[in-house]
Structures are given as C-alpha cells and as structure tokens.
C-alpha cells in the first residue's frame, strides 16, 4: 500500500497496448483498462510462432525455455527505487505478457515419435505445456514416464477447464513431474462435448480419484477408468457444477428435496 504511487511508466493510456498488469498497478485504479483485443480467448492458441504482436524487445518476463528453476522470473520492471514521484510522462508501450512458443528437444522428440499428435507447445513463466491428441495420450504418457522420455513418473494433478465457446470445450490438464529432472510439464488434451478421453489411471495410478473428480465436476467421460463414479457429490446428483453453464446458485433441486426434505437451499 505504501509504495503504491511510485510506479513510473505504467501509463494506462497507451493506445492498443494496455500492458495488463504485468507489474505495477495503474496509478488510477478507477479506469478499467481495455483488454488487449488479440488475446480475448484461447490462452492455448497464440497463433503462429512468429506473430508480430510482441512489443519492442521481447517480453522479458518470460524466462528462456531452458531455465527450469522455479520462482517468478525477473520482471522487466523499472527498478523499485523510489524514483522521483513525477508524473509518468512518456508512457512507454509495454510488451503484452503472454505465453510463448516453447521449443525443446523433448517437443521435437515427441513430434518425431508421435507425428500429428502433438499440438502447440507453450511456455509461460518457465512453465511448459503441450497439447496432445487424445488418441495418443496413453502412448505419450507411457513414453514420458519412461527413462527416455524424462521419467515423468509423478502425476501431480489432473483437472479440466471448461471453455464453452470453443468447438472443443474441455481442456483436460495433466501436471506431470519428474524427480530425475526436477521438472514440471503440463499436458493438455482438448475435448468436445460428449467425447471421452482415455484414462491414464493405468499409467499413473493417482489419476484414479483425480479423474473421478473431473468426471464429477465436469462430466468428462474416461475410457478404461477402473471405477468412474462421482466422488464429491452424491451419486444421484444431476449436473456437473464446474461447467461454465452451471450457475453458482444452481442446485439439483429434486435431489435436495428428496434427500434433505427442504425446498432448494438458496
């Protein structure tokens, strides 16, 4: 709070380059900044690698792909010295902070072994993510788990994100970790409504409950899952609450009435 007003070059008035909050807040909190038009949707799809939307001097906040170290990379910020509290006169256009294409030997190897099954590979805040086709998911998982693929023996988390406006509305997300490389890797599978994705519980047994939760919350169907039932909600519940079209006040009124003997709780 104290050092709020010493953010020199923010200048929320830069046309077209609103510099979304990478560091330093806008000095005038009232004015909502216009969102950058190109990046309204789809964080996973930044278009061609050489897209020209990058500002001068490559956005520094994104660390080079090789760096695996954790911790937020240095922000390309002005030094935090209490610079003269003069009004920020020249609003330098800031580079738009967004995920960058990730090229690494692993991606090349995957593309070579699984032609056509590996989509965008992106890097943001030194966190790589790769989009893979669901048909090849198990094979890619087995490969990544093997020594040759980097020994990603640890499935930290599996979850999903719902983008109802996209053709393939679900992104199923796998957070992998390799003890050998001390490296995290994010796999993504894009999935349309009504499609099913192969269960990775055979590759990483921890996926069992995690996939049950994704099924419970999003209604994503898993093929070959050993025990695909709801895990958090009651088994008879109708609806999948973490879908975007499930309103926050919505409930399964019939279930509530039948089991709790009250009208809907809201």
Site for other proteins in 132-191 (CB under 8 A): 153-157, 159, 161-162, 173, 175, 179, 182, 184, 186
Query: Which CB atom, from 120 or from 162, has the smaller least distance to other proteins?
Result: 162
Query: Which CB atom, from 103 or from 182, has the smaller least distance to other proteins?
Result: 182
Read off the tokens for 242.
Answer: 């973490």
Among 204, 215, 219, 225, binds other proteins (CB under 8 A): 204
Q: How far apart are CA 77 and CA 58, in angstroms?
A: 13
Position 75 contacts other proteins (CB under 8 A): yes
State which of positions 1-20 bind other proteins (CB under 8 A). Answer: 1-4, 7, 20
Residue 246 C-beta: closest distance to other proteins, Å: 8
Cα angle for residues 29, 30, 36 (degrees, 5° grid): 80
CA-to-CA dists, residue 124 to 68, 120, 186, angstroms? 12, 13, 11
**How remote is the C-alpha of 150 from its chain's centroid?**
22
Among 241, 252, 255, 264, binds other proteins (CB under 8 A): 241
Q: How far apart are CA 226 and CA 211, in angstroms?
A: 10
**How remote is the C-alpha of 132 from its chain's centroid?**
14
Helices 137-145 and 105-113: crossing angle, nearest 10°? 130
Position 266 contacts other proteins (CB under 8 A): no
| Helix (H/G/I), strand (E/B), else coil: 51 | coil
Query: Which CB atom, from 67 or from 108, has the smaller least distance to other proteins?
Result: 67
Q: Compute the chain's Rg from CA coordinates.
A: 22
Position 92 contacts other proteins (CB under 8 A): no
Residue 103 C-beta: closest distance to other proteins, Å: 18
Residue 248 C-beta: closest distance to other proteins, Å: 5
Binding mask 18-37 for other proteins (x = CB under 8 A): --xxxxxxx--x--xx-xx-
């Amino acid at each position: 709070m104290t050092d709020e007003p010493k953010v020199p070059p923010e200048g929320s008035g830069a046309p077209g380059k609103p510099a979304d909050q990478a560091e330093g807040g806008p000095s005038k909190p009232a004015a909502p900044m216009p969102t950058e038009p190109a990046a309204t949707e789809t964080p996973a799809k930044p278009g061609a690698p050489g897209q020209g939307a990058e500002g001068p001097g490559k956005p520094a906040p994104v660390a080079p792909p090789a760096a695996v170290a954790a911790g937020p990379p240095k922000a390309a910020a002005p030094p935090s010295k209490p610079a003269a509290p003069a009004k920020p006169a020249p609003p330098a256009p800031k580079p738009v902070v967004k995920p960058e294409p990730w090229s690494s030997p692993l991606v090349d190897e995957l593309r070579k072994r699984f032609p056509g099954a590996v989509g965008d590979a992106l890097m943001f805040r030194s966190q790589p993510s790769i989009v893979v086709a669901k048909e090849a998911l198990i094979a890619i998982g087995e490969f990544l788990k093997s020594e040759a693929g980097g020994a990603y023996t640890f499935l930290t988390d599996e979850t999903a994100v719902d983008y109802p406006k996209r053709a393939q509305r679900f992104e199923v997300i796998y957070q992998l970790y390799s003890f050998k490389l001390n490296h995290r890797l994010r796999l993504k599978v894009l999935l349309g409504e009504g499609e099913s994705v192969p269960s990775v519980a055979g590759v990483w047994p921890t996926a069992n409950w995690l996939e049950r939760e994704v099924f419970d919350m999003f209604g994503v169907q898993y093929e070959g899952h050993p025990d695909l039932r709801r895990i958090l909600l009651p088994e008879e519940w109708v609806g999948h609450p973490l879908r975007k079209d499930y309103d926050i006040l919505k409930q399964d009124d019939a279930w509530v009435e039948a089991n709790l003997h009250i009208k809907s709780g809201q």
